[in-house]
C-alpha cells in the first residue's frame, strides 16, 4: 500500500482578517479566486501569493461559492443578497436576481451546457443562468431540503446535496430530479464534486463521513477518524483522490477511490477551512475563514 503524501502548507493573509475567506476556485487567468463572505468582496490570489480584493456593492450580500464560468468570467452566489454575481478577470462586476424572492443562492458550478447552475437553498430550487443573465428555475420534489453544493456529474446531469433532506439529488437538463436518501441519519451533506473514478464524492458534515455515489445511485460512506470533524467542501485532485476540508477540526483530508483517508493539520487553531480547489500550479488551495488562503503542496 503506497504511503500517503506529505504536505507543506503556506498561508497568505488577506488584507482584512475579518473578511471571511469562504469559497475558492481556479480562474481562467491562472490565479485563484475566492469569496469574502463577511465583508462582501471577491479576492484574487496569484500562485506567488500576490493578492487583490474587489469590493462588492452592497457589501452585505454574503458572497459564498464561486466557480469559473464558460464565458471566461467568474460566477458566484450571494446567499444573503439573493443574487448571482459575475466578475471578469479585470474586475468588472454584474449581478442578477433570480425570479424567486429570498431564494438564498449558495452552490454554483459550470454545467455541461455552457451555463452556470446554482442551488437555491431557501427556495428548494435549482437555477440555471446563461452568460447573458437569463435565469430558469427547477423546483425540487422535497420541501425544506436546503440544496447546498452542486457539481456537474459524469453522466451529463447536475448532482447536488440536500443538507436538510439528508439526500443527494441528480437533475437532468429537462428538469427531472432523482433523489437518493443517505444511509446514515443526520448526515447533512454539503460539499460535492465529480471524482476521477466516474462517481461523485460528497461530505457529510453532520456525521463525519465522506460519501461516494455512482450514476446509478449506489452509495458508499467512509467514516472519518474524528466523527466531529465536520467535513465541508470537497474537490477532485490530480492525484486521483479527493481532498476535503474539516471545518470543525482545522484539517484538510484526502480520500482515495478505495476509501483510504489521511489527514493534515492546518497551522494554528480556529482556522475554519471552507472551500478547497486544485490550483493550476499543482497545489491544493483552501480558504480559511480565520483570514488566510492556504496553499498545500504535496511531496
Kindly list the distances between the CA atom of residue 50 and the CA atoms of 15, 16, 146, 149, in Å, as whole numbers in the listed order.
11, 15, 36, 28
Place of cell 467535513: 231
Task: Characterize 180-203 residue by residue with b for buried, 16 or more Cβ atoms within 10 angstroms of its Cβ, and e for exposed.
Answer: bebebeebbbbbbbbbebebbbbb
What's the rounded Cα separation, in Å, for the pair 58 and 229?
Answer: 34
> Would you say 214 and 227 are in contact if contact means Cβ atoms under 8 Å apart?
no
Query: Is 289 within any annotated ligand binding site?
Result: yes
Contact 273, 266 (CB under 8 A): yes
Distance CA 72, CA 75 (A): 10
Q: Kindly tell me the sign of the dihedral angle through the C-alpha atoms of 273, 278, 284, 285.
A: negative
The angle at the Cα of 151, spanning 241 to 197, to the nearest 5 degrees, equals: 35
Strand partners of residue 83: 78
Residues 21 and 14 sit within 8 Å (Cβ to Cβ): yes
User: Which residue among 82, 180, 264, 274 is the active-site one?
Assistant: 274
Active site residue 180: no
Distance from CA of residue 275 to its chain's centroid?
6
Kindly state the cell numbers that stand for 22: 469562504
Cell of 3: 504511503
Judge whether 78 is annotated as a binding position: no
Give the three-class secondary structure for 110.
Answer: strand
What distance in Å separates the CA atoms of residue 86 and residue 93, rounded to the nearest whole number? 6
272 assigned binding-site residue: yes
The 10 Å Cβ neighbour count of residue 28 is: 16
Active-site residues, by number, are 274
List the binding residues for Mg(2+): 272, 289
List the binding residues for substrate: 232
List the binding residues: 232, 272, 289
Amino acid at each position: 500500500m503506497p504511503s500517503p503524501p506529505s504536505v507543506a502548507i503556506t498561508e497568505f493573509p488577506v488584507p482584512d482578517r475579518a473578511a471571511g475567506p469562504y469559497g475558492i476556485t481556479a480562474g481562467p487567468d491562472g490565479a485563484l479566486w475566492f469569496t469574502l463572505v463577511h465583508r462582501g468582496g471577491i479576492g484574487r490570489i496569484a500562485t506567488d501569493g500576490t493578492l487583490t480584493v474587489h469590493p462588492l456593492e452592497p457589501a452585505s450580500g454574503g458572497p459564498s461559492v464561486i466557480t469559473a464560468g464558460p464565458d471566461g468570467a467568474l460566477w458566484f452566489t450571494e446567499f444573503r443578497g439573493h443574487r448571482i454575481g459575475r466578475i471578469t478577470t479585470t474586475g468588472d462586476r454584474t449581478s442578477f436576481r433570480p425570479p424567486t424572492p429570498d431564494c438564498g443562492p449558495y452552490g454554483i458550478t459550470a454545467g455541461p451546457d455552457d451555463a452556470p447552475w446554482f442551488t437555491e437553498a431557501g427556495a428548494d430550487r435549482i437555477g440555471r443562468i446563461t452568460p447573458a443573465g437569463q435565469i430558469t428555475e427547477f423546483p425540487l420534489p422535497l420541501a425544506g431540503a436546503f440544496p447546498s453544493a452542486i457539481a456537474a456529474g459524469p453522466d451529463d446531469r447536475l448532482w447536488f446535496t440536500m443538507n436538510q433532506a439528508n439526500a443527494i439529488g441528480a437533475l437532468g437538463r429537462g428538469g427531472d430530479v432523482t433523489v437518493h436518501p443517505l444511509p446514515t441519519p443526520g448526515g447533512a451533506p454539503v460539499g460535492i464534486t465529480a471524482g476521477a473514478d466516474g462517481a461523485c464524492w460528497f461530505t457529510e458534515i453532520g456525521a463525519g463521513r465522506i460519501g461516494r455515489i455512482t450514476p446509478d445511485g449506489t452509495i458508499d460512506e467512509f467514516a472519518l477518524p474524528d466523527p466531529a470533524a465536520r467535513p465541508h467542501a470537497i474537490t477532485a485532485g490530480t492525484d486521483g483522490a479527493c481532498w476535503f476540508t474539516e471545518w470543525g477540526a482545522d484539517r484538510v483530508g484526502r480520500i482515495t477511490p478505495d476509501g483510504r483517508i489521511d489527514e493534515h493539520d492546518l497551522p494554528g487553531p480556529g482556522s475554519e477551512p471552507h472551500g478547497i480547489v486544485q490550483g493550476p500550479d499543482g497545489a491544493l488551495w483552501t480558504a480559511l475563514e480565520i483570514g488566510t488562503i492556504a496553499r498545500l503542496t504535496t511531496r
